[in-house]
Amino acid sequence: MTTTEHGEDVQVTPPRRQAATARGRIAAAVSLIGELAITAGLILGLFVVYSLWWTNVIADNQAQKESDTVRRSWAASSAGSGPGKSAKPGALDTKDGLGFLHVPAMGKNYEVLVKKGTSTNVLNQGVAGYYTSPVKAAMPWDKQGNFTLAAHRDGHGAKFHNIDKIKDGDPVVFEDRDTWYVYKVYKILPQTSKYNVKVINQIPKESGKTRAGRYITLTTCTPVYTSEYRYIVWAQLVRTQKVDAHRTPPAELR
Kindly report, residue by residue over 46-73, the tens digit of the pLDDT.
Answer: 444 445 667 888 888 999 999 999 999 8
Q: Which helix (DSSP H) or strand (DSSP E) does residue 113 occupy?
A: strand 112-116
Mean pLDDT of the chain: 83
Superfamily of domain 52-253: Sortase (2.40.260.10)
**C-alpha span between 123 and 129 (Å, rounded):** 6
Could you tell me the CA-to-CA distances from 81 to 71, 74, 149, 175, 212 in Å, in that order?
A: 16, 12, 23, 14, 25
**pLDDT category of residue 192 using cuts at 50, 70 and 90:** very high
Could you tell me the CA-to-CA distances from 44 to 33, 38, 51, 60, 232 in Å, in that order?
A: 16, 10, 10, 23, 31
Residue 30 is predicted with a pLDDT of 63
| Dihedral in degrees, nearest 10, Cα atoms 55, 61, 65, 68 | 120
Q: pLDDT tens-digit profile of 4-26?
A: 455 555 455 566 665 666 666 66
**pLDDT category of residue 103 using cuts at 50, 70 and 90:** very high
Active-site residues, by number, are 221
From the number of C-beta atoms within 10 Å of its C-beta (0-12, 13-18, 19+), residue 87 rates as exposed
pTM of the predicted model as reported, rounded to 2 decimal places? 0.77
Q: pLDDT tens-digit profile of 193-240?
A: 999 999 999 999 999 999 999 999 999 999 999 999 999 999 999 999
